[in-house]
């Protein structure tokens, strides 16, 4: 099992360090919510310097200057206010980091560039388009992944299931030839996994992957089909179309944005259900609870705990003056557990009244793959109900916690279930 | 009272509104948004307001309307 884990890129980038270089303490990795809530008790927006907010050090994975004034936005309403205004609160800092590796795509753009580009890409991601993937790709792939372990009666579902199907789903959506998937998986593994330990190799792998993706896009342009990449090639808005470079950058963007997040959310969903056996029993008996399970998972344990922005001009937020150039940490983790919005906000409760959360962000940069992610999670619940009866924690192993400071996940979900021959 | 107004030029069929307040918003297979244009009922008002705020393209707004005269 250790080998499976070592060869899977989704498990490699899990060590987190503070900007000072100190590893994040295990206490904070397990529960970042308590120190963040202490900060929130002082008000909806806290002032800091670089990543430092008093004793608390927030991550700096997008490379802002540590002597730069900063704020942490902690309440639901103010996080929403920041995320809705993509002009005032820019995403340009990603241009110095992620753009170097994967090319210029939606994540680092601001309006109006973002608006026209997103409109074109959105054509491939509408609910009706993702609905088509459900029967053709998502359900068969996810159910196959669940069925592959079901006969064993015991598995680490994060290692043997949820870390595998997001990649298989994406390879089919992109229409990658089966013969190429090993090459792509290898470069992807080196790109995501090597980012910290072997940045030169990670960069080389990313460039090889970019060249491959560019070829795939050019090939699809010559031989269009009715799949996703062709739909993007055909997309037109206001007389504009996507050129090959933008299209290739977006496909590159889909790898980190669509694989790791889906794996993390799906694993955490299983973890939360296994940790709440009454709710798991209710969900096993009643598929109509599935949407609530998915949304409640994304609220309490959404993969991303924070999003960075930069103020493009002087402004005020919650009455606080904010200077142009201020780094703005949008703290999704506290917004989604805002006690003014949810009662007992730390509790996972699939029966609570539905209220929107910021697990997919908000505003112009709202996760473009949100329907895809929901459908993969929904298919996993269907597979669980069908093929993993009596699902529960493996009593032989201590329950591993959900961990993460900037990105959270249940990286291990050791479970047992009933099989016809008994476990 | 309020009702919802859609700017179809801005709407790009993200489908956020329909997932937040499915009683009031629906996207067709042609990606065209259909909105219930009656006054928003009190029972739905909170979620409709949230859907308007969460629209990624700010294509939705609430407009004040006169109370319809009764009897």
For the segment A10-49, what is each residue's pLDDT rounded down to a tens digit?
654 455 777 777 788 889 999 999 999 999 999 999 999 9
3-state secondary structure of B12: coil
Using the beta-carbon criterion (under 8 Å), do A122 and B12 form an inter-chain contact? yes
* Least confident window among A114-118, A197-201, A245-249: A197-201
Per the listing, tokens 């608006």 go with A115
Asked whether residue A63 carries a pLDDT value surpassing 80, the answer given is no
For the segment A67-86, what is each residue's pLDDT rounded down to a tens digit?
899 999 999 999 999 999 99
- Please list, residue by residue across A245-275, b when 16 or more beta carbons sit within 10 angstroms of its beta carbon and e when fewer do: ebbbbbbbbbbbbbbbbbbbbbbbbbbbbbe
Tell me what the mean pLDDT of segment A96-105 comes to: 85
Which chain B residues are closer than 8 Å to A365 by Cβ? 56
* Least confident window among A16-20, A238-242, A310-314: A16-20
**pLDDT reported for residue A4:** 47
User: How far is Cα A163 from Cα A287, in angstroms, rounded to an integer?
Assistant: 23
Q: Is the ipTM of this complex over 0.90?
A: yes
Count of CB atoms within 10 A of residue A189's CB?
Answer: 17
Q: Where are the alpha helices (DSSP H) in A96-198?
A: 98-102, 113-122, 127-133, 139-150, 157, 165-173, 181-197
**How much is the mean pLDDT over chain A?**
92
The string of DSSP letters for A348-400 reads --TTSPP---STT--GGGS-TTHHHHHHHHHHHHHHHHHH-TT-EE-TTSPPP
Reference A267, options A397, A141, A160, A148; nearest CA is A160
Which chain B residues are closer than 8 Å to A371 by Cβ? 15, 19
Classify the C-alpha dihedral A396-A7-A266-A22 as positive or negative.
Answer: positive
Collect all residues from B whose CB is shorter than 8 A from any CB in A. Answer: 12-16, 18-20, 27-31, 47, 50-51, 53-54, 56-58
Reference A378, options A128, A9, A130; nearest CA is A130
**pLDDT reported for residue B70:** 57
Per the listing, tokens 């008994």 go with A422
Q: Torsion over CA of A277, A355, A169 and A6, rounded to 10 degrees? A: -60
Using the beta-carbon criterion (under 8 Å), do B14 and A128 form an inter-chain contact? no
Which chain B residues are closer than 8 Å to A374 by Cβ? 19
For the segment A112-154, what is each residue's pLDDT rounded down to a tens digit?
999 999 999 999 999 998 999 999 999 999 999 999 999 999 9
* Least confident window among A59-68, A390-399, A408-417: A59-68
**pLDDT reported for residue A149:** 97
For the segment A206-225, what is each residue's pLDDT rounded down to a tens digit?
999 999 999 999 999 999 99
**pLDDT reported for residue A2:** 43
Per the listing, tokens 């790791």 go with A260
- A414-416 and A392-393 strand pairing: antiparallel
* Alpha-carbon distance B70 to nearest alpha carbon in chain A (angstroms): 33
User: How far is Cα A262 from Cα A142, in angstroms, rounded to an integer?
Assistant: 12
Asked whether residue A423 carries a pLDDT value surpassing 80, the answer given is no
User: How far is Cα A132 from Cα A375, in angstroms, rounded to an integer?
Assistant: 11
**pLDDT reported for residue A1:** 41
For the segment A361-410, what is each residue's pLDDT rounded down to a tens digit?
999 999 999 999 999 999 999 999 999 999 999 999 999 999 999 899 99
Asked whether residue B66 carries a pLDDT value surpassing 70, the answer given is yes
How crowded is the C-beta side of A89, counted as CA atoms within 13 Å?
26
**Tokens representing residue A256 in the block:** 């980190």
* Contact with chain B for residue A119, Cβ under 8 A: yes
Q: Is the CB of residue A177 less than 8 Å from the CB of residue A213? A: no
| Comparison of pLDDT for A61 and A53, the residue scoring more | A53
* Alpha-carbon distance B26 to nearest alpha carbon in chain A (angstroms): 10
Residues pairing with B27 in the sheet: B33
Reference A141, options A159, A166, A176; nearest CA is A166
Going from the C-alpha of A35 to that of each of A25, A32, A59, A74, the distances in angstroms are 12, 6, 14, 12
Helices A181-197, A244-255: crossing angle, 10 deg rounding = 70
* Contact with chain B for residue A355, Cβ under 8 A: yes
Classify the C-alpha dihedral A217-A220-A226-A227 as positive or negative.
Answer: negative
Which chain A residues are closer than 8 Å to B14 by Cβ? 122, 125-126, 366, 368
How crowded is the C-beta side of A282, counted as CA atoms within 13 Å?
13
CA A75 to chain centre: 21
**pLDDT reported for residue A420:** 81
* Contact with chain B for residue A128, Cβ under 8 A: yes
User: What percent of chain A has a predicted confidence (pLDDT) above 90?
Assistant: 77
Using the beta-carbon criterion (under 8 Å), do B12 and A119 form an inter-chain contact? yes
**Tokens representing residue A58 in the block:** 């927030």
Going from the C-alpha of A389 to that of each of A207, A299, A382, A394, B1, the distances in angstroms are 45, 26, 11, 14, 50
| Comparison of pLDDT for A1 and A288, the residue scoring more | A288
Q: Is the CB of residue A237 less than 8 Å from the CB of residue A229? A: no
User: How far is Cα A298 from Cα A357, in angstroms, rounded to an integer?
Assistant: 8
User: How far is Cα B44 from Cα B23, in angstroms, rounded to an integer?
Assistant: 8
């Amino acid at each position: 099992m250790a080998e499976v884990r070592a060869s899977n890129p989704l498990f490699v980038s899990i060590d987190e360090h503070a900007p000072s270089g100190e590893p994040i303490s295990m206490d904070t990795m397990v529960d970042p919510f308590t120190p963040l809530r202490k900060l929130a008790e002082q008000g909806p927006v806290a002032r800091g310097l670089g990543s430092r907010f008093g004793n608390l050090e927030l991550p700096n994975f997008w490379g802002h200057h540590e002597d730069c004034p900063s704020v942490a936005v902690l309440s639901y309403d103010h996080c929403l206010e920041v995320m809705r205004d993509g002009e005032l609160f820019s995403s340009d800092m990603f241009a110095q980091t992620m753009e170097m590796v994967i090319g210029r795509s939606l994540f680092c753009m601001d309006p109006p560039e973002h608006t026209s580009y997103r409109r074109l890409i959105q054509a491939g991601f509408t609910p009706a388009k993702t609905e088509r993937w459900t029967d053709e790709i998502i359900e068969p792939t996810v159910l196959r992944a669940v069925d592959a372990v079901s006969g064993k009666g015991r598995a680490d579902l994060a290692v043997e299931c949820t870390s595998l199907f997001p990649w298989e789903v994406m390879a089919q959506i992109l229409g990658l030839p089966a013969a190429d998937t090993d090459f792509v998986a290898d470069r992807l593994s080196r790109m995501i996994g090597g980012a910290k330990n072997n940045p030169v190799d990670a960069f080389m792998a990313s460039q090889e992957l970019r060249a491959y993706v560019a070829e795939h896009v050019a090939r699809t342009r010559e031989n269009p089909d009715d799949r996703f990449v062709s739909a993007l090639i055909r997309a037109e808005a206001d007389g504009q179309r996507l050129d090959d470079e933008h299209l290739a950058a977006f496909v590159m963007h889909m790898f980190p944005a669509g694989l790791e997040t889906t794996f993390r959310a799906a694993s955490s969903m299983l973890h939360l259900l296994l940790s709440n056996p009454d709710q798991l029993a209710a969900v096993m008996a009643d598929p109509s609870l599935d949407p609530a399970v998915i949304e409640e998972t994304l609220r309490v344990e959404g993969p991303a705990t924070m999003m960075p922005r930069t103020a493009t001009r002087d402004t005020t937020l919650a009455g606080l003056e904010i200077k142009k150039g201020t780094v703005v940490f949008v703290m999704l983790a506290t917004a989604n557990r805002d006690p003014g919005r949810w009662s007992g906000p730390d509790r996972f409760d699939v029966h609570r009244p539905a209220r929107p959360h910021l697990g997919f962000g908000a505003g112009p940069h709202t996760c473009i793959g949100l329907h895809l992610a929901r459908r993969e999670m929904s298919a996993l619940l269907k597979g669980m109900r069908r093929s993993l009866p009596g699902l529960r924690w493996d009593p032989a192993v201590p329950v591993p916690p959900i961990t993460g400071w900037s990105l959270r996940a249940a990286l291990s979900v050791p479970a047992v279930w009933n099989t016809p021959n008994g476990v | 009272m309020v009702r919802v107004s859609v700017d179809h030029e801005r709407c790009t069929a993200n489908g956020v509104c329909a997932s937040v307040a499915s009683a009031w918003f629906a996207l067709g297979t042609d990606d065209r948004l259909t909105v219930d244009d009656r006054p928003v009922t009190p029972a739905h008002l909170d979620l409709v307001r949230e859907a308007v705020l969460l629209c990624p393209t700010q294509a939705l707004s609430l407009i004040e309307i006169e109370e319809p005269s009764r009897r």
